[in-house]
Structure 1
Amino acid sequence: MHITCTPPCKFEFCWLCLGAWSDHGERTGGFYACNRYEAAKQEGVYDDTEKRREMAKNSLERYTHFYERWATNQSSRQKALADLQQMQNIHLEKLSDKQCQPESQLKFITEAWLQIVECRRVLKWTYAYGYYLPAHEHAKRQLFEYLQGEAESGLERLHQCAEKELYSYLNVDGPSKDFNEFRMKLAGLTR
């Protein structure tokens, strides 16, 4: 680990050996490479310190992993809510006209989007749950990760169908003969 920091610096110590900057210079390998740290490390002086640093680094990486996925699902949920509003306010009427179906018969689309929003909420909180799962309970963690993966996979299939496949029916000139198959597929994925 090399931290490039030159005096005068807001830090008053070397990040490598944790010694004072005033004790550093050409005799310690320069400000950019502290050979005090390397010599002390070889003598075993920093073993406990290194272990604590490594544990802190791993803990931060683990937290970041779970938080980023939590935040991604939160933003995906917000986008799904916006897409639901757009679907209800704009696209359902257009789809009703294109497919020659009353809007009451297109309720399955709104239900699918409501399910997507709810699934994003649940998935978001699975990452908080996963963060607090004890590391020593390997079987529980494996089952949890498997179920979480299955939930994500099912949600992605539903989202793909409700978003991309639906838009193909919005961009046609007349009613599609396979719209009822799409209805059954989307309703099945929603269930």
Structure 2
Amino acid sequence: MYQLQLEKLSDIQCQPESQLKFITEAWLQIVECRRVLKWTYAYGYYLPEHEHAKRQFFEYLQGEAESGLERLHQCAEKELQVYLNADGPSKDFNEFRTKLAGLTSVTRNYFENLVRALENGLSDVDSRGACSRMGNSKGLGGGSSRGRSGKGKGSTSRPSSSSRNIDDSGHWSCEYCTFANVKSATICLMCQQRR
């Protein structure tokens, strides 16, 4: 079925199928993330009740991964339909390509962070409930500081506007989805949040 959609999209958008790999990568990422997500529920079920900080940290990471996956799925399914139903090439197809590829990358990052934390037994939360720095967390564009604020309770506070610096490559990281946007963008190309 997906192959037929790719062929149709290739014809409508006048793009070779080799240029549509970003769609296949998004679909494969969705499948992999759903597979991982189903096992996180089992992991959460067996988390000891008395480890409140670990449970809250786990639920925070799981929630971030789930919401990233839903944004990716929405884009890969519903937004793709616009281009599949078009009468001819769409001038904003390249923007869609950038958005879907970015969402795929951001979602992969969320799930890598979740799996890494689970593999480490949520060791980023110490016995007092404080979060230590997540080791080697490589968020897109430098990563998000959310969930590593030292508050431990799965804090969802947003970084202040002063922490949204432009990195060496001339990109700024969205504080909501961590997408690395070009310096000239005033809104995030991924989640449409203002800079």
Which bin holds the TM-score, normalised by the shorter protein? 0.5 to 0.7
1:51-66 matches, cutoff 5 A = none
Counterpart residue identity of residue 159, structure 1: H
CA RMSD of aligned residues (A): 0.4
Matched, 1:87 2:2: yes
Q: Secondary structure at the match of 2:21?
A: helix
Percentage of matched positions with identical amino acids: 89
Q: Secondary structure at the match of 2:45?
A: helix
Deviation at 1:87, TM superposition (A): 1.3
Structure 2 partner of 1:174: 88
1:21-170 matches, cutoff 5 A = 86-88=1-3, 90-170=4-84
Deviation at 1:184, TM superposition (A): 0.3
Counterpart residue identity of residue 146, structure 1: Y
Deviation at 1:132, TM superposition (A): 0.4
Counterpart residue identity of residue 91, structure 1: Q
Q: Secondary structure at the match of 2:50?
A: coil
Counterpart residue identity of residue 48, structure 2: P
Runs of 4+ with deviation above 4 angstroms: none
Inter-partner Cα distance in structure 2 for 1:118 and 1:144: 19
Inter-partner Cα distance in structure 2 for 1:168 and 1:110: 17
Counterpart residue identity of residue 129, structure 1: Y
Counterpart residue identity of residue 131, structure 1: Y
Deviation at 1:190, TM superposition (A): 0.5
Structure 1 partner of 2:119: none
User: Per-residue CA shift, 1:10-42, capped at 9, x if unaligned?
Assistant: xxxxxxxxxxxxxxxxxxxxxxxxxxxxxxxxx
Q: Return 5+ residue gaps in structure 2 as ranges.
A: 106-195
Q: How many residues align?
A: 105
Inter-partner Cα distance in structure 2 for 1:135 and 1:104: 50
Q: Return 5+ residue gaps in structure 1 as ranges.
A: 1-85
Inter-partner Cα distance in structure 2 for 1:161 and 1:188: 11
Inter-partner Cα distance in structure 1 for 2:84 and 2:26: 16
The TM-score, its normalising length taken from structure 1, stands at 0.55
Structure 1 partner of 2:193: none
